[in-house]
């Protein structure tokens, strides 16, 4: 959305702002969210990370067959 505004108005300063916002989101995910998820879910989260890319859905290693089966909840 920020990049759309930058394109609409031709504002280079807004592109820099978009880059700063993107960097902020990335750092929040890498430095806080992922370690918190790893502490909460342990090996299950590591398995998830090994199969799913961080930012682009459908891109990343998917060569290993799905050997994980979620526990059945009653």
Tell whether the model's pLDDT for residue 72 goes beyond 70.
no
State pLDDT tens for residues 30-51.
999 999 999 999 999 999 888 8
Name, in order, each residue with C-beta under 8 angstroms of 3's C-beta and a sequence gap of 6 or more: 15, 18
- Between CA 74 and CA 71 the distance in angstroms is 10
pLDDT grade, residue 57 (50/70/90)? Answer: confident
Query: What pLDDT is recorded for position 24?
Result: 97
Q: What is the mean pLDDT of residues 63-74?
A: 59
């Amino acid at each position: 959305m920020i990049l759309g505004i930058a394109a609409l108005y031709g504002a280079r300063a807004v592109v820099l702002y978009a880059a700063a916002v993107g960097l902020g989101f990335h750092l929040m995910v890498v430095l806080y969210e992922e370690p918190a998820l790893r502490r909460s879910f342990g090996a299950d989260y590591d398995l998830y990370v090994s199969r799913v890319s961080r930012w682009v859905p459908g891109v990343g290693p998917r060569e290993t067959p799905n050997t994980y089966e979620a526990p059945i909840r009653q």
